[in-house]
Structure 1
Amino acid sequence: MASKVELVVEVKSPAEKLWTAMRESTELFPKIFPEQYKSIETVEGDGKSAGTVRLIKYTEVHVHSGVPMVTFAKEKVEVADDEKKVVSYSVVDGELVSFYKNFRVTVQVTDKGADGGGAVVNWTMDFDKASDEVPEPDVIKETAAKTLHDLDDYLLKN
């Protein structure tokens, strides 16, 4: 059964600055979040446009007690629109694939106000559980929220 999880995060960084950092996450995230990402590499495509496939190697991330930790994920970029500041990708390989079918995340960044006073990030996860025993992906949502807030803090200092 298809499920959807939504998250709205307000940040202080301007939308353009946050969007640029997110688009450079292949290089940036392992540098600024070494506790979360071992490495991110582009295995197909140019690293930014639709059709790109990235291999993400995580440090120890536990999805749920009793469930094996997630060590890697391969994600395929489905939509990449710099004008609208929206990116969407599907997880095509890794431990998550055994728990969730059709796992897709869409992120859109919009200006909070006309004065450039921050941005709003709309993060949506669409997924189908592989079985009823699979836990809700709350940890993934919490991790996304933390990553967005930490990225905002990093951008405000740099």
Structure 2
Amino acid sequence: MGDLYGKLETDVPIKASASMFHEIFHKKPHHISNASTDKIHGVDLHEGEWGQVGSIICWKYFHDGKARIAKEIIEHVDEENNSITFKVIEGDLTEHYKDFRLTIQCIPKEKGSVIHWILEYEKLHDQIPDSHTLLQFCVEVSQDIDSMLSDIDEP
């Protein structure tokens, strides 16, 4: 019997500052569809305020060849460490996972920053593979956001 609990992590080096990247996910996730048009088709606020713990956000995205939806609650925000955690509460991921969280931490470097992604989950059964494709999706969205922020950042 396989393990039902999983944790995938990766680091994505980017040119943009940690604070600028964090602000997009924290306060302006609805702008991500402008940066990553092929992957993120829309982000809507369902309850609460952008960036507030307890607020509910609905993501419309395209992953593994399908249009998908994820409704997430903002579970934790650490502005000092540029970190935010989302917990999936409805949508396509709940077909395979009893529990699914995404944490994004933006770590400043001398030049640019590193985006540290953590996907933590509990599968409904042991036949479900670890979501390496979703982790790669997060990497690509990070790169798209970095490109958008780099364009804004240029003098």
**TM-score, normalization: structure 2?**
0.88
Question: What's the offset of the Cα at 1:151?
Answer: 1.1
Task: Tell me if structure 2 keeps the 8 A contact 1:90–1:105.
Answer: yes
Aligned ranges for residues 9-48 of structure 1 at < 5 Å? 9-48=12-51
| RMSD after superposition | 1.5
Structure 1, unaligned runs of 5 or more: 64-68
Which residue of the other structure, out of 104, 108, 126, is the alignment partner of 1:132?
A: 126
Structure 1 SS opposite 2:71: strand
- Matching residue of 1:150: 144
- Aligned mates of 1:80, 1:118 — CA distance in 2: 21
Question: What's the offset of the Cα at 1:26?
Answer: 2.7
CA 1:70–1:96: 2 relative to 1, 3 Å: farther
* Count of residue pairs the alignment pairs up: 149
Task: Tell me if structure 2 keeps the 8 A contact 1:70–1:94.
Answer: no
Task: Tell me if structure 2 keeps the 8 A contact 1:8–1:120.
Answer: yes
- Matching residue of 1:88: 85
Identity of matched residues, %: 23
- Aligned mates of 2:6, 2:80 — CA distance in 1: 28
Structure 2 SS opposite 1:147: helix
**TM-score, normalization: structure 1?**
0.87
Structure 2 SS opposite 1:19: helix
Question: What's the offset of the Cα at 1:61?
Answer: 2.2
